[in-house]
Amino acid sequence: MNKNNRTTVVARHAYTEAYANYLKSGNLEEATRQVAHSIWEHRSGKPGTAQCDWQEAERITAAWPDTVTEASNAHLFDKALSKTRAWLQDVQAEMDYTNLNEAYRALRAVLHAMRDRLPVEECAEFAAQMPVLIMGMYYSGWTPAHKPERIKNADEFLDRVAAQLPAGEDPLRVTNGVLRVLERHISRGEMNDVRRNFPERLRELWGTAAPRQR
């Protein structure tokens, strides 16, 4: 992927939650307001004005109606719901959970830890292969500043995962299970790219996530 395409991917997926809300409501003005607010938050006191934030948000959301029009012919939102459920059901089966809420928590915990360790461009390329609703969850609370974060080894990574899990749940078991699910839903090339962006002491997590015998 060339530099211009990567920039486009980052710009598109940085506001996935607003885009997902727009798919549901069709309210472009509200989506633009959400993007403008996000731009303001990310400025963190740097020079800029509300008018400039709004103009930038309008630039970002201008193509969204055409995207929805094209996608609606294929029932994008229905497909997104179906794909999201398929991912969660796969996690549920892999982890022997009793419900999809448990699967959601596990998937979120591991994806957030992975997301924070990835460079911004790779973070966006990884997200591009997710159902839009999972993509929204993946980006929830994320900012591109100071990424990738320093997570030097498996123990630090697992601490990140454990922080989003119920007390007593084994973060290594959860990470192994979610990685197996991701290997089934994300292309091999993209998963290899993700793995290469992890330091050697973190790549060992893939070694412990061998396919489970069913």
Chain segment 174-205, per-residue pLDDT in tens: 999 999 999 999 999 999 999 998 888 788 78
Per-residue confidence (pLDDT) for residue 163, from 0 to 100: 96
Give the distance, in angstroms, between the CA of residue 59 and the centroid of all CA atoms in the same chain. 23
The pLDDT of residue 91 is above 90? yes
Tell me: pLDDT of 78 over 80. Answer: no
Query: What are φ and ψ of residue 132, in 5° steps?
Result: -60, -35
**Locate tokens 């709004």: which residue?**
54
Angle at the Cα of 124 from the Cα atoms of 121 and 126, rounded to 5 degrees: 110
Instruction: In whole angstroms, give the CA distance from residue 24 to residue 31.
Output: 11
pLDDT for the residue 7 = 42
Domains, the chain, ranges and CATH? Answer: 1-74 (no CATH), 75-214 (1.10.490.110)
The per-residue pLDDT for 67 is 67
- Distance between CA atoms of 46 and 48, rounded to whole angstroms? 6
Q: 63 or 97: which carries more pLDDT confidence?
A: 97
Residue 162 has pLDDT above 50, yes or no: yes
**What distance in Å separates the CA atoms of residue 194 and residue 120, rounded to the nearest whole number?**
12
Separation of alpha carbons 75 and 91, rounded Å: 25
What integer best gives the mean pLDDT of the chain?
Answer: 84
- Are 125 and 152 spatial neighbours (Cβ–Cβ below 8 Å)? no
Whole-number percent of the chain with pLDDT over 90: 46
- Mind listing the pLDDT tens digit for each residue in 99-152? 999 999 999 999 999 999 999 989 999 999 998 889 989 998 888 888 899 888
CA dihedral 27, 64, 89, 117 (to 10 degrees): -110
Q: How far apart are CA 2 and CA 191, in angstroms?
A: 19
The yes-or-no verdict on residue 30 having pLDDT over 70 is yes
- Rounded distance between C-alpha atoms, residue 96 and residue 103, angstroms: 9
Q: Tell me the whole-structure pTM to 2 decimals.
A: 0.66
Q: Which residue has the tokens 């006191």?
A: 45
Q: Is the model's pLDDT at 8 over the cut of 50?
A: no
- Helix, strand, or coil (residue 113): helix
On the question of pLDDT at 40 being above 90, the answer is no
Q: What would you report as the CA-atom Rg of the chain, rounded to the nearest whole angstrom?
A: 18
Alpha-carbon torsion (127, 55, 38, 33), positive or negative: negative
C-alpha to C-alpha distance for 116 and 108, rounded to whole angstroms: 12
> In the predicted model, what is the mean pLDDT of residues 21-27?
78
Q: What is the pLDDT of residue 76?
A: 61
Q: Is the predicted pLDDT of residue 6 greater than 60, yes or no? A: no
